[in-house]
Protein backbone atom coordinates (compact mmCIF):
# COMPACT_ATOMS: atom_id res chain seq x y z
CA UNK A 1 0.00 0.00 0.00
CA UNK A 2 1.26 3.45 -0.84
CA UNK A 3 2.26 5.61 2.12
CA UNK A 4 1.34 9.27 2.30
CA UNK A 5 2.35 12.29 4.34
CA UNK A 6 0.14 13.34 7.19
CA UNK A 7 -1.48 16.69 6.71
CA UNK A 8 -3.63 19.34 8.36
CA UNK A 9 -6.96 17.99 7.22
CA UNK A 10 -7.38 15.79 10.34
CA UNK A 11 -9.30 18.59 12.03
CA UNK A 12 -12.18 18.00 9.60
CA UNK A 13 -12.76 14.43 10.77
CA UNK A 14 -14.89 15.26 13.79
CA UNK A 15 -17.96 16.15 11.74
CA UNK A 16 -17.15 13.38 9.27
CA UNK A 17 -17.22 10.80 12.03
CA UNK A 18 -20.91 11.56 12.47
CA UNK A 19 -21.43 10.27 8.94
CA UNK A 20 -19.55 7.01 9.21
CA UNK A 21 -22.55 4.97 10.33
CA UNK A 22 -24.58 6.45 7.51
CA UNK A 23 -22.22 5.37 4.84
CA UNK A 24 -21.48 1.97 6.29
CA UNK A 25 -25.17 1.24 5.84
CA UNK A 26 -25.49 2.80 2.37
CA UNK A 27 -24.63 1.25 -0.11
CA UNK A 28 -21.34 3.80 -7.37
CA UNK A 29 -9.28 -1.68 -25.96
CA UNK A 30 -6.56 0.93 -25.49
CA UNK A 31 -7.52 3.80 -23.25
CA UNK A 32 -4.94 6.16 -24.66
CA UNK A 33 -6.49 6.01 -28.11
CA UNK A 34 -10.08 6.11 -26.93
CA UNK A 35 -10.68 9.85 -26.96
CA UNK A 36 -10.82 12.33 -24.11
CA UNK A 37 -8.95 10.76 -21.19
CA UNK A 38 -5.29 10.14 -21.86
CA UNK A 39 -2.03 8.79 -20.51
CA UNK A 40 1.45 10.04 -21.26
CA UNK A 41 2.88 6.52 -21.47
CA UNK A 42 5.75 7.40 -19.16
CA UNK A 43 4.37 7.06 -15.64
CA UNK A 44 6.01 3.83 -14.47
CA UNK A 45 6.31 2.58 -10.92
CA UNK A 46 3.27 1.43 -8.95
CA UNK A 47 0.00 2.83 -7.72
CA UNK A 48 -2.59 1.50 -5.29
CA UNK A 49 -6.24 1.54 -6.35
CA UNK A 50 -9.20 0.97 -4.06
CA UNK A 51 -12.17 -0.18 -6.14
CA UNK A 52 -15.71 -0.48 -4.84
CA UNK A 53 -17.55 -3.79 -5.08
CA UNK A 54 -19.59 -3.52 -8.30
CA UNK A 55 -19.79 -7.20 -9.26
CA UNK A 56 -21.35 -10.24 -7.65
CA UNK A 57 -18.38 -10.68 -5.25
CA UNK A 58 -14.97 -9.20 -4.48
CA UNK A 59 -13.29 -11.90 -6.56
CA UNK A 60 -15.70 -11.24 -9.40
CA UNK A 61 -14.65 -7.58 -9.40
CA UNK A 62 -10.98 -8.50 -9.54
CA UNK A 63 -11.55 -10.72 -12.57
CA UNK A 64 -13.61 -8.05 -14.33
CA UNK A 65 -11.02 -5.33 -13.68
CA UNK A 66 -7.95 -7.39 -14.56
CA UNK A 67 -8.05 -6.75 -18.35
CA UNK A 68 -8.25 -2.97 -17.83
CA UNK A 69 -5.40 -2.94 -15.34
CA UNK A 70 -3.29 -5.07 -17.65
CA UNK A 71 -3.89 -2.68 -20.56
CA UNK A 72 -2.88 0.27 -18.40
CA UNK A 73 0.33 -1.44 -17.28
CA UNK A 74 1.23 -2.37 -20.88
CA UNK A 75 0.66 1.20 -22.05
CA UNK A 76 2.37 3.07 -19.22
CA UNK A 77 4.60 0.61 -17.41
CA UNK A 78 2.70 1.35 -14.18
CA UNK A 79 1.62 -1.60 -12.07
CA UNK A 80 -1.74 -1.19 -10.34
CA UNK A 81 -2.07 -2.81 -6.93
CA UNK A 82 -5.80 -3.45 -6.70
CA UNK A 83 -7.91 -3.86 -3.59
CA UNK A 84 -11.66 -4.31 -3.94
CA UNK A 85 -13.48 -3.11 -0.83
CA UNK A 86 -17.08 -3.97 0.10
CA UNK A 87 -19.48 -1.04 0.42
CA UNK A 88 -20.01 -1.82 4.09
CA UNK A 89 -16.33 -1.00 4.75
CA UNK A 90 -15.37 1.53 2.09
CA UNK A 91 -16.32 4.82 3.70
CA UNK A 92 -14.71 4.02 7.03
CA UNK A 93 -11.56 2.92 5.21
CA UNK A 94 -11.51 6.26 3.41
CA UNK A 95 -11.94 8.23 6.64
CA UNK A 96 -9.14 6.25 8.24
CA UNK A 97 -6.88 6.91 5.26
CA UNK A 98 -7.64 10.63 5.41
CA UNK A 99 -6.81 10.68 9.12
CA UNK A 100 -3.64 8.60 9.01
CA UNK A 101 -2.25 9.63 5.63
CA UNK A 102 -1.85 5.93 4.80
CA UNK A 103 -4.11 5.16 1.87
CA UNK A 104 -4.29 4.51 -1.86
CA UNK A 105 -3.29 6.72 -4.75
CA UNK A 106 -6.67 6.42 -6.51
CA UNK A 107 -10.01 5.29 -5.11
CA UNK A 108 -13.65 4.87 -5.96
CA UNK A 109 -16.23 6.79 -3.95
CA UNK A 110 -20.01 6.74 -3.93
CA UNK A 111 -20.89 9.96 -5.69
CA UNK A 112 -23.17 11.05 -2.84
CA UNK A 113 -20.06 11.29 -0.63
CA UNK A 114 -18.29 13.75 -2.93
CA UNK A 115 -18.99 16.99 -1.06
CA UNK A 116 -18.25 15.49 2.34
CA UNK A 117 -14.89 14.16 1.15
CA UNK A 118 -14.17 17.36 -0.79
CA UNK A 119 -14.36 19.33 2.46
CA UNK A 120 -11.59 17.25 4.05
CA UNK A 121 -9.08 18.91 1.72
CA UNK A 122 -7.45 15.51 1.24
CA UNK A 123 -8.13 15.06 -2.46
CA UNK A 124 -6.70 16.48 -5.66
CA UNK A 125 -8.85 19.22 -7.26
CA UNK A 126 -10.05 18.40 -10.76
CA UNK A 127 -8.16 21.18 -12.48
CA UNK A 128 -4.84 21.55 -14.24
CA UNK A 129 -3.21 18.18 -15.00
CA UNK A 130 -6.11 16.13 -13.70
CA UNK A 131 -8.73 18.02 -15.70
CA UNK A 132 -6.52 17.75 -18.78
CA UNK A 133 -6.04 14.01 -18.21
CA UNK A 134 -9.79 13.33 -18.30
CA UNK A 135 -10.24 15.46 -21.43
CA UNK A 136 -12.21 18.29 -19.85
CA UNK A 137 -15.72 18.59 -18.48
CA UNK A 138 -17.54 18.70 -21.82
CA UNK A 139 -16.87 15.01 -22.55
CA UNK A 140 -19.05 13.96 -19.61
CA UNK A 141 -22.78 13.65 -19.10
CA UNK A 142 -23.54 16.89 -17.26
CA UNK A 143 -25.70 15.37 -14.52
CA UNK A 144 -22.92 12.90 -13.65
CA UNK A 145 -20.23 15.58 -13.73
CA UNK A 146 -22.27 17.70 -11.33
CA UNK A 147 -21.90 15.02 -8.62
CA UNK A 148 -18.13 15.61 -8.38
CA UNK A 149 -18.28 18.26 -5.66
CA UNK A 150 -19.96 21.35 -4.34
CA UNK A 151 -21.13 23.86 -6.91
CA UNK A 152 -18.83 26.85 -7.18
CA UNK A 153 -15.75 25.01 -5.94
CA UNK A 154 -13.21 22.86 -7.76
CA UNK A 155 -14.50 19.30 -7.75
CA UNK A 156 -12.35 16.58 -6.19
CA UNK A 157 -13.84 13.59 -8.01
CA UNK A 158 -14.78 12.65 -11.57
CA UNK A 159 -17.50 10.22 -12.68
CA UNK A 160 -16.58 6.61 -13.50
CA UNK A 161 -19.80 4.57 -13.63
CA UNK A 162 -23.29 5.95 -14.15
CA UNK A 163 -26.42 4.43 -12.62
CA UNK A 164 -30.07 5.34 -12.20
CA UNK A 165 -33.21 3.66 -10.95
CA UNK A 166 -35.49 1.89 -13.42
CA UNK A 167 -38.51 -0.28 -12.78
CA UNK A 168 -37.91 -3.95 -13.62
CA UNK A 169 -40.84 -6.33 -13.88
CA UNK A 170 -41.47 -10.04 -14.30
CA UNK A 171 -42.98 -10.40 -17.76
CA UNK A 172 -44.24 -13.92 -17.06
CA UNK A 173 -46.34 -12.71 -14.13
CA UNK A 174 -47.62 -9.79 -16.20
CA UNK A 175 -48.66 -12.14 -19.02
CA UNK A 176 -50.37 -14.55 -16.63
CA UNK A 177 -52.39 -11.63 -15.24
CA UNK A 178 -53.28 -10.35 -18.72
CA UNK A 179 -51.35 -7.11 -18.21
CA UNK A 180 -49.85 -5.97 -21.51
CA UNK A 181 -48.08 -2.74 -20.55
CA UNK A 182 -46.05 -1.64 -17.54
CA UNK A 183 -47.62 1.12 -15.44
CA UNK A 184 -46.58 4.68 -16.26
CA UNK A 185 -48.19 6.64 -13.41
CA UNK A 186 -48.12 6.04 -9.67
CA UNK A 187 -51.86 5.39 -9.64
CA UNK A 188 -51.47 2.77 -12.39
CA UNK A 189 -48.56 1.24 -10.49
CA UNK A 190 -50.72 0.70 -7.40
CA UNK A 191 -53.58 -0.71 -9.51
CA UNK A 192 -51.28 -3.15 -11.32
CA UNK A 193 -49.59 -4.04 -8.04
CA UNK A 194 -52.94 -5.02 -6.52
CA UNK A 195 -53.73 -7.28 -9.49
CA UNK A 196 -50.38 -9.00 -9.10
CA UNK A 197 -50.60 -9.49 -5.32
CA UNK A 198 -52.16 -12.90 -4.79
CA UNK A 199 -52.28 -16.25 -3.06
CA UNK A 200 -51.14 -18.51 -5.90
CA UNK A 201 -51.43 -21.86 -4.14
CA UNK A 202 -54.72 -21.35 -2.29
CA UNK A 203 -53.34 -21.83 1.22
CA UNK A 204 -54.71 -18.52 2.44
CA UNK A 205 -51.34 -16.74 2.48
CA UNK A 206 -50.13 -14.25 -0.13
CA UNK A 207 -47.03 -15.62 -1.85
CA UNK A 208 -46.79 -13.26 -4.83
CA UNK A 209 -46.50 -9.53 -4.25
CA UNK A 210 -46.97 -6.64 -6.64
CA UNK A 211 -43.82 -4.90 -5.48
CA UNK A 212 -40.70 -5.72 -3.48
CA UNK A 213 -38.33 -3.21 -1.89
CA UNK A 214 -35.66 -3.16 0.81
CA UNK A 215 -37.62 -1.46 3.59
CA UNK A 216 -34.66 -1.53 5.99
CA UNK A 217 -32.14 -0.12 3.51
CA UNK A 218 -31.32 3.39 4.69
CA UNK A 219 -29.90 4.43 1.34
CA UNK A 220 -32.79 3.05 -0.75
CA UNK A 221 -35.30 4.66 1.59
CA UNK A 222 -33.62 8.06 1.43
CA UNK A 223 -33.41 7.84 -2.37
CA UNK A 224 -37.16 7.27 -2.58
CA UNK A 225 -37.89 10.12 -0.16
CA UNK A 226 -35.67 12.42 -2.24
CA UNK A 227 -37.20 11.61 -5.65
CA UNK A 228 -40.82 11.42 -4.53
CA UNK A 229 -40.42 14.58 -2.50
CA UNK A 230 -39.30 16.43 -5.62
CA UNK A 231 -42.38 15.17 -7.50
CA UNK A 232 -44.45 16.70 -4.72
CA UNK A 233 -42.55 20.00 -4.90
CA UNK A 234 -40.21 19.77 -1.89
CA UNK A 235 -36.49 19.35 -1.35
CA UNK A 236 -34.76 17.81 1.65
CA UNK A 237 -32.67 20.96 2.20
CA UNK A 238 -33.36 24.65 1.69
CA UNK A 239 -31.28 26.77 -0.68
CA UNK A 240 -29.04 27.71 2.25
CA UNK A 241 -28.50 24.03 3.20
CA UNK A 242 -30.91 23.87 6.14
CA UNK A 243 -32.72 20.54 6.57
CA UNK A 244 -36.47 20.47 5.95
CA UNK A 245 -37.23 16.76 6.12
CA UNK A 246 -40.83 17.33 7.22
CA UNK A 247 -41.75 19.69 4.37
CA UNK A 248 -45.20 18.95 2.98
CA UNK A 249 -43.90 17.45 -0.25
CA UNK A 250 -41.45 15.16 1.54
CA UNK A 251 -44.23 13.92 3.83
CA UNK A 252 -46.47 13.25 0.83
CA UNK A 253 -43.69 11.49 -1.06
CA UNK A 254 -42.83 9.27 1.91
CA UNK A 255 -46.52 8.53 2.35
CA UNK A 256 -46.71 7.38 -1.28
CA UNK A 257 -43.89 4.92 -0.70
CA UNK A 258 -44.74 3.57 2.77
CA UNK A 259 -48.39 3.17 1.75
CA UNK A 260 -47.36 0.40 -0.63
CA UNK A 261 -47.13 -1.78 2.49
CA UNK A 262 -49.25 0.07 5.03
CA UNK A 263 -52.35 0.87 2.95
CA UNK A 264 -52.29 -0.77 -0.46
CA UNK A 265 -50.83 -4.08 0.75
CA UNK A 266 -48.83 -4.76 -2.42
CA UNK A 267 -45.49 -4.99 -0.58
CA UNK A 268 -44.73 -7.91 1.73
CA UNK A 269 -44.35 -7.14 5.45
CA UNK A 270 -41.17 -9.23 5.34
CA UNK A 271 -39.64 -6.54 3.11
CA UNK A 272 -39.47 -4.32 6.19
CA UNK A 273 -36.47 -6.41 7.29
CA UNK A 274 -34.50 -6.32 4.01
CA UNK A 275 -31.34 -4.23 4.34
CA UNK A 276 -30.14 -4.39 0.73
CA UNK A 277 -31.46 -5.00 -2.77
CA UNK A 278 -30.03 -8.49 -3.38
CA UNK A 279 -33.04 -10.38 -1.95
CA UNK A 280 -35.34 -7.90 -3.71
CA UNK A 281 -33.87 -8.89 -7.08
CA UNK A 282 -34.13 -12.55 -6.05
CA UNK A 283 -37.83 -12.05 -5.28
CA UNK A 284 -38.38 -10.80 -8.83
CA UNK A 285 -36.42 -13.68 -10.37
CA UNK A 286 -38.23 -16.29 -8.24
CA UNK A 287 -41.67 -14.90 -9.07
CA UNK A 288 -42.33 -13.77 -5.49
CA UNK A 289 -42.63 -10.14 -6.65
CA UNK A 290 -43.77 -8.65 -9.93
CA UNK A 291 -42.03 -5.24 -9.85
CA UNK A 292 -38.94 -3.69 -8.27
CA UNK A 293 -37.05 -0.39 -8.46
CA UNK A 294 -33.34 -1.04 -8.96
CA UNK A 295 -30.17 0.52 -10.37
CA UNK A 296 -28.34 -2.46 -11.85
CA UNK A 297 -29.85 -5.95 -11.54
CA UNK A 298 -28.74 -7.28 -14.94
CA UNK A 299 -25.68 -9.11 -13.65
CA UNK A 300 -27.93 -10.91 -11.15
CA UNK A 301 -30.36 -11.80 -13.96
CA UNK A 302 -27.51 -13.18 -16.04
CA UNK A 303 -26.10 -15.20 -13.14
CA UNK A 304 -29.51 -16.91 -12.78
CA UNK A 305 -30.21 -17.16 -16.55
CA UNK A 306 -33.34 -15.12 -15.91
CA UNK A 307 -34.88 -13.79 -19.12
CA UNK A 308 -38.51 -13.13 -18.15
CA UNK A 309 -37.97 -9.47 -17.39
CA UNK A 310 -38.92 -6.11 -18.80
CA UNK A 311 -37.90 -2.58 -17.94
CA UNK A 312 -39.71 0.76 -17.73
CA UNK A 313 -39.26 4.14 -16.12
CA UNK A 314 -40.19 4.28 -12.44
CA UNK A 315 -43.82 5.51 -12.38
CA UNK A 316 -44.46 9.12 -11.35
CA UNK A 317 -47.42 10.86 -9.79
CA UNK A 318 -49.61 12.43 -12.47
CA UNK A 319 -50.11 15.31 -12.43
CA UNK A 320 -47.05 16.53 -10.59
CA UNK A 321 -47.76 18.67 -7.55
CA UNK A 322 -47.36 22.43 -7.77
CA UNK A 323 -43.64 23.08 -8.14
CA UNK A 324 -43.00 19.38 -8.64
CA UNK A 325 -40.23 18.03 -10.83
CA UNK A 326 -40.32 14.88 -13.04
CA UNK A 327 -37.59 13.15 -11.03
CA UNK A 328 -37.66 9.38 -10.48
CA UNK A 329 -34.05 8.79 -9.43
CA UNK A 330 -31.03 10.47 -7.97
CA UNK A 331 -27.98 10.66 -10.23
CA UNK A 332 -26.49 7.43 -9.00
CA UNK A 333 -22.98 6.30 -9.73
CA UNK A 334 -19.37 5.86 -8.73
CA UNK A 335 -16.69 8.57 -8.90
CA UNK A 336 -12.89 8.53 -8.85
CA UNK A 337 -10.63 10.60 -6.61
CA UNK A 338 -6.86 11.05 -6.31
CA UNK A 339 -5.26 11.69 -2.93
CA UNK A 340 -3.41 15.02 -2.85
CA UNK A 341 -0.37 13.34 -1.36
CA UNK A 342 -0.42 10.27 -3.59
CA UNK A 343 3.03 8.72 -3.66
CA UNK A 344 2.91 8.41 -7.46
CA UNK A 345 0.60 11.29 -8.35
CA UNK A 346 1.51 11.53 -12.05
CA UNK A 347 0.69 7.85 -12.54
CA UNK A 348 -2.48 8.22 -10.47
CA UNK A 349 -3.65 11.09 -12.66
CA UNK A 350 -2.81 9.08 -15.78
CA UNK A 351 -4.84 6.17 -14.41
CA UNK A 352 -7.91 8.35 -13.91
CA UNK A 353 -7.51 9.61 -17.47
CA UNK A 354 -7.24 6.02 -18.69
CA UNK A 355 -10.35 4.81 -16.85
CA UNK A 356 -12.41 7.70 -18.23
CA UNK A 357 -11.17 7.31 -21.82
CA UNK A 358 -13.87 6.34 -24.31
CA UNK A 359 -12.52 2.84 -24.93
CA UNK A 360 -12.20 1.98 -21.25
CA UNK A 361 -15.59 3.51 -20.48
CA UNK A 362 -17.05 1.12 -23.04
CA UNK A 363 -15.13 -1.86 -21.67
CA UNK A 364 -15.77 -1.19 -17.99
CA UNK A 365 -19.44 -0.35 -18.29
CA UNK A 366 -20.02 -3.39 -20.47
CA UNK A 367 -18.55 -5.67 -17.85
CA UNK A 368 -20.38 -4.06 -14.92
CA UNK A 369 -23.66 -3.44 -16.84
CA UNK A 370 -23.55 0.21 -15.76
CA UNK A 371 -23.75 3.41 -17.82
CA UNK A 372 -20.82 5.24 -19.41
CA UNK A 373 -20.34 8.75 -18.06
CA UNK A 374 -18.80 10.10 -21.29
CA UNK A 375 -21.11 10.75 -24.20
CA UNK A 376 -18.86 9.26 -26.92
CA UNK A 377 -19.10 5.79 -25.39
CA UNK A 378 -22.80 5.52 -26.18
CA UNK A 379 -22.04 4.95 -29.86
CA UNK A 380 -20.98 1.38 -29.01
CA UNK A 381 -23.59 -1.26 -29.82
CA UNK A 382 -23.47 -2.56 -26.24
CA UNK A 383 -25.35 0.55 -25.14
CA UNK A 384 -28.14 0.39 -27.72
CA UNK A 385 -30.45 -1.94 -25.77
CA UNK A 386 -33.83 -0.75 -24.54
CA UNK A 387 -32.67 -1.11 -20.93
CA UNK A 388 -29.56 1.02 -21.41
CA UNK A 389 -31.32 3.66 -23.51
CA UNK A 390 -34.05 3.98 -20.90
CA UNK A 391 -31.53 4.27 -18.08
CA UNK A 392 -29.58 6.86 -20.07
CA UNK A 393 -32.79 8.82 -20.61
CA UNK A 394 -33.55 8.63 -16.89
CA UNK A 395 -30.03 9.73 -15.97
CA UNK A 396 -30.07 12.69 -18.35
CA UNK A 397 -33.69 13.86 -18.06
CA UNK A 398 -35.37 12.44 -14.95
CA UNK A 399 -32.60 12.41 -12.34
CA UNK A 400 -31.10 14.96 -9.99
CA UNK A 401 -28.02 14.79 -7.75
CA UNK A 402 -28.67 14.01 -4.10
CA UNK A 403 -28.24 17.16 -1.98
CA UNK A 404 -24.72 18.51 -2.53
CA UNK A 405 -24.14 19.26 1.14
CA UNK A 406 -21.49 18.00 3.54
CA UNK A 407 -24.13 16.41 5.77
CA UNK A 408 -25.63 14.31 2.96
CA UNK A 409 -24.46 11.05 4.50
CA UNK A 410 -26.03 11.84 7.85
CA UNK A 411 -29.24 12.83 6.08
CA UNK A 412 -29.38 9.39 4.45
CA UNK A 413 -29.05 7.74 7.86
CA UNK A 414 -31.70 9.87 9.55
CA UNK A 415 -34.28 9.93 6.75
CA UNK A 416 -33.59 6.31 5.85
CA UNK A 417 -34.05 5.24 9.47
CA UNK A 418 -37.31 7.20 9.71
CA UNK A 419 -38.68 5.23 6.74
CA UNK A 420 -37.29 1.98 8.12
CA UNK A 421 -39.22 2.56 11.35
CA UNK A 422 -42.37 3.48 9.42
CA UNK A 423 -42.15 0.25 7.44
CA UNK A 424 -41.71 -1.65 10.71
CA UNK A 425 -44.87 0.02 12.00
CA UNK A 426 -46.67 -0.89 8.77
CA UNK A 427 -46.13 -4.60 9.45
CA UNK A 428 -48.49 -4.43 12.41
CA UNK A 429 -50.99 -1.75 11.46
CA UNK A 430 -51.78 1.49 9.70
CA UNK A 431 -49.35 4.38 9.27
CA UNK A 432 -50.96 7.81 9.36
CA UNK A 433 -49.74 11.05 7.84
CA UNK A 434 -49.24 12.27 11.40
CA UNK A 435 -46.93 9.28 12.02
CA UNK A 436 -44.91 10.20 8.97
CA UNK A 437 -44.72 13.88 9.89
CA UNK A 438 -43.51 13.04 13.39
CA UNK A 439 -40.89 10.57 12.18
CA UNK A 440 -39.49 13.07 9.69
CA UNK A 441 -39.68 15.96 12.17
CA UNK A 442 -37.70 13.92 14.69
CA UNK A 443 -35.09 13.17 12.01
CA UNK A 444 -34.96 16.85 11.12
CA UNK A 445 -34.43 17.84 14.75
CA UNK A 446 -31.54 15.38 15.04
CA UNK A 447 -30.02 16.75 11.84
CA UNK A 448 -30.33 20.36 12.99
CA UNK A 449 -28.76 19.55 16.34
CA UNK A 450 -25.86 17.73 14.71
CA UNK A 451 -24.93 20.46 12.24
CA UNK A 452 -25.61 23.35 14.62
pLDDT on residue 335: 98
- Model confidence over 389-404: pLDDT tens digits? 999 899 889 999 999 9
Maximum CA pair distance of the chain?
69
- Model confidence over 343-359: pLDDT tens digits? 999 999 999 999 999 99
- Whether the predicted pLDDT of 367 surpasses 80: yes
- Whether the predicted pLDDT of 22 surpasses 70: no
- Model confidence over 293-328: pLDDT tens digits? 999 899 899 999 999 999 999 999 999 999 999 999
| Residue % of the chain over a pLDDT of 90 | 82
190 pLDDT band (50/70/90 cuts)?
very high
- Whether the predicted pLDDT of 416 surpasses 90: yes
Q: Which domains does the chain have, with CATH numbers?
A: 46-163+331-400 (3.40.190.10), 166-330+404-451 (3.40.190.10)
pTM: 0.83
- Model confidence over 116-163: pLDDT tens digits? 999 999 999 999 999 999 999 999 999 899 999 998 999 999 999 999
Amino acid sequence: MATHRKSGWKKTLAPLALLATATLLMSGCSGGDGGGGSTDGASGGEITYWASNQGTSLEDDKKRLEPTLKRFEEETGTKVNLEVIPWSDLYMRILTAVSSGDGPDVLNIGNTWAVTLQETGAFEPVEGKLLEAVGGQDRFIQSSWDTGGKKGAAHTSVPLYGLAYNMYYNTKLFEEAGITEPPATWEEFIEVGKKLTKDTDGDGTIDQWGYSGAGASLSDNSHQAFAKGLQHGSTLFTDDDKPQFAADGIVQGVNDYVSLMAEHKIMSPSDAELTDSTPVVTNLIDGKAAMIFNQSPIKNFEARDFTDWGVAMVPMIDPLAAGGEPIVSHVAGINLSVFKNAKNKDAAIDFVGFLTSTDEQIALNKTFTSLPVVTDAYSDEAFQSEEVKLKQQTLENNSAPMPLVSSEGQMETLVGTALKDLFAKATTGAVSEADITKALSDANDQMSAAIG
